[in-house]
A and B are shown apart, each in its own frame.
Chain A
Amino acid sequence: MAIKFPSLEFFQELARRMNANPAAFEKLGFCDTVMGMRVLGKNPHLYSLTFDVFECSDVRELSSPEGAGFDFVLEAPLALWKEMFESIQKTGHPAPAYTLNSLSHVGDRMKVVYDEPEGHDKFYRFMATIQAFVDQAADLDIEWA
């Protein structure tokens, strides 16, 4: 069954897959961060993902980042999220230009929004886990908004 993007169900499904696959994520190590993923567009959406030890323990949609305690938020237009996930779906991993780091680095097609440098650095400290988390969408049947 197709899962709509963006939707709470989409990120819940990625969390379910992560928690059902402990071997892969335990190998990558502890991951402790609260991050946001913001989809910009006519109907913007903001999702909060809590990574806790080896699991994604909480996923929710928020109307505002206030009080969410985000370490950092990845922010991009819907079209860019779509390009990224489509790239992941081609081979199971993103093409070089579509890794989370590449998208958010030079040119800032994807913005990393943060207050504290340590929160910002968590994006890099847990990069392999966060990339593996989004790569799980490789075989999802996605219905684009």
Chain B
Amino acid sequence: MSYYGTDDFSYNSDFNLRIRDIKKGNLDFGWLDNARETVDVRRRDPRRGLTLEDCEVGPYAIENTPEVVRDNRGVAPRGAILAPGSEQPDLGPSLNKKSDVWGYRVQNYWEEAMSRQWNVTTDVPWRDMDKYEIPDELEIAFCQLCTLLSEVEMIATDLPAKWSHHMNSYFQEVKGFIATQAIDEARHAEVFRKRALAGAGLIRASVRGEHALKGILEADSYSEGSVFLHVLGEGFILTLFRSSEYISPTPVEQRMFQLVMQDEARHVSYGLQHLKYLMDNCPEVRPQINGFLDEAERHLTGLFNPDQLESMIVLGGKGTTPECIRHGIAVVGAFQGKQIEEYFHRAERAGLPERRERSPLLELQQRMITALSA
């Protein structure tokens, strides 16, 4: 036990006497005096049920919450009545400023995540795997890809989990959304593991890739972790999932990637809206975020490790003959260019147009183009 409370309630005679009294029927109804006027919460669209946006009313609404939350340091939900003075325990949240975590439309992303959940065990047509014959080199290449993606998804599960308890409980919608992200990412790790084990098995773990992933997990602030994971990392992985659907050996893998890309795109959207919110409301952090991204973008190139790159080339070219490899290199080169362009576009719309000038990724892209045209 690392936390001992300030009071041992099992030996507190006042507390025990009061409980005994209540059980005898002597209620004082003090809490009833605090009852609030009821707010008008309605389902604006009955097809959706009761949504978080429907609940954004009166003292419960985020717009009526100050930018910096000073009164609540525990886990009271936004709008609850807090005990006077310092009676409410301090659970030590370190993210108490709205711009530290908030993103435009985060309530909608949480609802969308809950509504679009899927099940690895039953929603991927595993039974169809027997219908298709996959050449050995393609199967092994695909399982190499699944191995790296399992590593990526482990970190993507851990990052939201790592930061959630640091967030002030008044930012419940963000905590809720990143909880859905953690389960999404755990599901992705599950689907890649299952697909690998149903085929050629897990292949080589990635050394450079894991260094890149450590950079995400070790970010100094939630916003840095978010911009690295959601905007940069998941933006790249979203394009990788799109490419993986494109080069999938059979419709089974295609279905798998159609489902994972939906979740990934939602995480990217939240990250973009968090970065935008941060730039709109806390522009003084721009140098810090830029400095962080200068390094994060270098880290990210670790995901292009040789095993990963070769397996994608073999999958893209559908074989290992020189002609297949030439075709595979062209396919992979095209999607890597797309990854970089889409990232710059997102960064620009979130308020960081300078990334295009500052980023080491452009030089990497130029090197790839030169290599391809050589």
Contact = CB atoms under 8 A, between A and B. Distances in A.
Interface of A: 28-30, 32, 53-55, 93, 96, 99, 101-102, 105-107, 116-118, 120-122, 124-128, 131
B272 A125 contact: no
B94 to A, nearest CB: 29
Interface residues of B, number: 38
A124 B342 contact: no
Interface in B317-361: 331, 334-335, 338, 342, 345-346, 349
Contacts of A101: 242, 245-246, 257-258, 261
A139 to B, nearest CB: 19
B293 to A, nearest CB: 16
B248 A105 contact: no
Nearest to B345: A117
A74 to B, nearest CB: 14
B48 A96 contact: no
26 contacts: A29-B112, A29-B115, A30-B48, A30-B115, A30-B116, A32-B108, A54-B47, A93-B251, A96-B248, A96-B251, A99-B245, A99-B254, A101-B246, A101-B258, A102-B245, A105-B246, A106-B331, A106-B334, A121-B238, A124-B238, A124-B261, A125-B265, A125-B269, A127-B261, A128-B116, A128-B262
Contacts of A125: 112, 116, 262, 265-266, 269
Chain B contact surface mostly: helix
Query: Which 10 pairs across A and B sit closest by C-beta, in order of nearness?
Result: A29-B116, A124-B265, A29-B115, A30-B115, A125-B265, A53-B47, A121-B265, A117-B346, A105-B246, A102-B246
Contacts of B251: 93, 96
Nearest to A91: B251
Nearest to B276: A118
B273 interface: yes
A111 B276 CA distance: 27
A117 B349 contact: yes
A128 B45 contact: no
Given A96-B248, A118-B272, A128 B259 contact: yes
A118 B345 contact: no
Nearest to B249: A96
Contacts of A99: 245, 254, 258
Given A101-B245, A127-B261, A118 B273 contact: yes
Nearest to A126: B262
A124 B242 contact: yes
A122 B345 CA distance: 15
